[in-house]
Structure 1
């Protein structure tokens, strides 16, 4: 049973993303939304932790939230993908449940 985990807080303000990554099971999906999209950016103190889990988890950021913050999808951690609202809907449909990390 796969879970979609959504993270909406900046990883530089809370430990939510790290907690999520540590609790997610192989095959789960993580979608970073709102300020959570900063966690998908390469070159940060969290990049290695995110990249290490990208092989066993489907890690994504919401394109619209990247763009709203002036971030370039070309700077995402390797293994992290950008998805639009249609991709968000697909993730919800492909998983058995959704867990919001607040």
Structure 2
């Protein structure tokens, strides 16, 4: 049963992303939206945790493109392996996963 985890709070203000990564299972997807997209920038204190989730836990990490743009973050600054999706991609992720969990 794959689950889509949706995180919307900045990982530098709240611990929602860290909690999410601790609970995500192999085959799950994590979608960063709103201020959470800041966590997808390479070179941050969370980069190693995100890399571990993608490689060791086999979790797919996505970031919402319009939210990156709204915060002035270019895709070139993204951590390798994080996929950028648009709103249609957001919908596709919700359809592809049996359950969703929003992390507040």
Normalised-by-shorter TM-score class? over 0.9
Question: What residue is the counterpart of 1:19 in the other structure?
Answer: 19
Q: Distance in 2 between matches of 1:26 and 1:41?
A: 23
Gaps of 5+ in 2: none
Q: What TM-score, normalized by structure 2, do the two folds share?
A: 0.96
Total equivalences in the alignment:
102
Instruction: Name the counterpart of 1:100.
Output: 102
Structure 1 residues without counterparts, runs of 5 or longer: none
1:14-93 superposed matches below 5 A: 14-55=14-55, 56-93=58-95
Runs of 4+ in structure 1 off by over 4 angstroms are none
Question: Secondary structure at the residue paired with 1:25?
Answer: coil
> 1:98, 1:89 → 2: CA distance?
12
How far apart are the structure 2 equivalents of 1:15 and 1:95?
24
| Corresponding residue SS for 1:36 | helix
